[in-house]
């Protein structure tokens, strides 16, 4: 029982530390008195917590000149940008992108590793080789790394440890155990969609909006619903999979997708507007595209869209028209103020949004479409997962043990 109470007390202390750190970062420069008022914690508690954060090199004191009164300058607190760094990565079906960042998301170094079929077959070894290569070539000081955060564009188990699907590839790999054994520091494995959702809702394009649909079209069709400030959860996750919704027959090009599938499967939106459908259409309408990988195919298509080529516009119209129908259905169900949309074809943003809004208007669907503030592999998105764990205090336990 005493051990339980000690554990509960430690957990509360971590939450308080996270809350104080978040307030200091939010206000950029703040006094201990104001921290006490905003956090509703006693001045003595604030003194103890801020001393701990200073010792952990997360915050620092700064003299603030007061122009209204004479005397010694007041002492303010601000986030310390000089010591801790974060190591981040994005794992996709054919790439492992790595970034070394300051805690505020400022990029220090980056490197992209292409994953071949041979790499995928021996993924554990390939990923560790990538990490070691990046640390060596970026001159990364591992003792200054606060955590290693990996965002996965795939499917994870509920504990966010085990990856069992990457693109269309079935895997069996415990990412958390793999990297913890290598680093001996906190490892954060996240679903990229949920990391992006947190970044956009906390500091991005929909900050302050309490009724938003987050819709992401990549290898899957991912949905998250923010209603009156609360995120709907499905199996303890913010991501809702809507792959099997049926798209209406809007154009003849749809019939050319996945001809071996049954008609019902062929018209499921996972087989109509996801990346794998777009890759099929590019190869079908541009058989001589000579693209080396899927990312290059998307860039190729978007260049053709910007040039207003008829085949490229046909693909664009299929994706936007089905997406508009999907948004119409979702708006009828959830009545959001905004729809935050992420799609690979937003590389041709002006044409994509023009067509999408035109189709939404045709359906009499009055909702504001907003796009991501960040690029899909932006360091700010990746460091959002780390900030989330600093704010809730869960990442501070490791620092408490090492300082």
- Convert the pLDDT of each residue in 252-298 to its tens digit: 999 899 989 998 999 999 999 999 999 999 999 999 998 988 889 99
Region 297-303: mean pLDDT is 95
Tell me: pLDDT of 48 over 60: yes
How confident is the model at residue 19, as a pLDDT? 92
How confident is the model at residue 97, as a pLDDT? 94
Residue 333: φ, ψ to 5°: -80, -40
Cα–Cα distance for residue pair 403/395, rounded to 1 Å = 13
CA 380 to mean position of chain CA atoms: 9
Of 219-228, 283-292, 345-354, the one with minimum mean pLDDT is: 219-228
How confident is the model at residue 132, as a pLDDT? 94
Render pLDDT for 112-156 as a digit per residue (tens, 0 to 9). Answer: 999 988 888 899 999 999 999 999 999 888 888 889 999 998 888
How confident is the model at residue 401, as a pLDDT? 61
Region 386-402: mean pLDDT is 77
Tell me: pLDDT of 395 over 50: yes
Region 219-241: mean pLDDT is 83
Residue 127: φ, ψ to 5°: -65, -40
Quickly state the pLDDT bin for 4 (edges 50, 70, 90): very low
Global pTM reads 0.77
Cβ burial 40-64 (10 Å sphere, 16+ → b, else e): ebeeebbeebbebbeebebbbeeee
How confident is the model at residue 73, as a pLDDT? 59
Cα–Cα distance for residue pair 21/401, rounded to 1 Å = 18
DSSP codes joined into one string, 59-81: EEEEEE--SSS-SSPEEEEEE--
How confident is the model at residue 1, as a pLDDT? 47
Render pLDDT for 69-85 as a digit per residue (tens, 0 to 9). Answer: 555 556 789 888 778 88
Render pLDDT for 154-204 as a digit per residue (tens, 0 to 9). Answer: 888 777 776 877 877 788 889 989 998 888 888 989 888 888 888 888 777
Tell me: pLDDT of 67 over 80: no
Burial of residue 125 (CB within 10 Å: 0-12, 13-18, 19+) is exposed
Counting residues of the chain whose pLDDT is more than 90, the rounded percentage is: 47
Region 363-388: mean pLDDT is 85
Closest residue by Cα to residue 203 from 385, 376, 337, 36 = 385
């Amino acid at each position: 029982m005493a051990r339980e109470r000690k554990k509960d007390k430690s957990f509360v202390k971590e939450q308080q530390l996270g809350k104080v750190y978040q307030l200091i970062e939010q206000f950029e420069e703040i006094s201990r008195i104001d921290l006490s008022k905003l956090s509703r914690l006693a001045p003595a508690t604030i003194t103890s917590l801020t001393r701990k954060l200073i010792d952990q090199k997360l915050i620092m004191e700064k003299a603030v000149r007061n122009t209204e009164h004479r005397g010694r300058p007041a002492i303010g607190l601000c986030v310390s940008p000089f010591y801790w760094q974060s190591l981040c990565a994005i794992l996709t079906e054919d790439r492992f992108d790595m970034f070394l960042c300051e805690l505020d998301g400022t990029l220090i170094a980056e490197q992209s590793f292409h994953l071949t079929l041979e790499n995928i077959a021996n993924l554990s070894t390939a990923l560790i080789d990538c990490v070691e290569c990046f640390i060596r070539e970026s001159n990364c000081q591992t003792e200054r790394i606060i955590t290693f955060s990996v965002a996965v564009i795939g499917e994870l188990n509920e504990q966010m440890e085990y990856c069992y699907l990457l693109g269309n590839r079935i895997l069996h790999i415990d990412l958390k155990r793999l990297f913890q054994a290598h680093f001996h520091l906190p490892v954060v494995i996240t679903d990229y969609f949920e990391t992006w959702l947190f970044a956009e809702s906390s500091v991005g394009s929909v900050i302050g909006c309490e009724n938003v649909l987050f819709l992401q079209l990549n290898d899957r069709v991912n949905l998250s619903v923010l209603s009156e400030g609360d995120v709907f959860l499905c199996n303890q996750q913010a991501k809702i999979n809507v792959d099997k919704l049926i798209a209406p027959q809007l154009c003849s090009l749809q019939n050319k997708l996945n001809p071996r599938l049954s008609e019902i499967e062929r018209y499921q939106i996972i087989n109509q507007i996801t990346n794998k459908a777009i890759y099929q259409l590019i190869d079908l309408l541009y058989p001589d595209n000579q693209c080396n990988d899927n990312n290059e195919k998307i860039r190729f298509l978007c260049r053709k869209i910007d040039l207003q080529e008829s085949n490229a516009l046909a693909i664009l119209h299929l994706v936007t028209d089905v997406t508009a129908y999907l948004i119409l259905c979702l708006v009828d169900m959830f009545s959001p103020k905004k729809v935050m949309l992420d799609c690979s074809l937003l590389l041709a943003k002006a044409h994509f949004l023009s067509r999408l809004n035109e189709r939404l208007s045709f359906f009499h669907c009055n909702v504001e479409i907003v796009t991501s503030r960040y690029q899909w592999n932006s360091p700010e998105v990746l460091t959002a997962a780390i900030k989330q764990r600093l704010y809730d205090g869960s990442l501070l336990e490791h620092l408490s043990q090492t300082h």
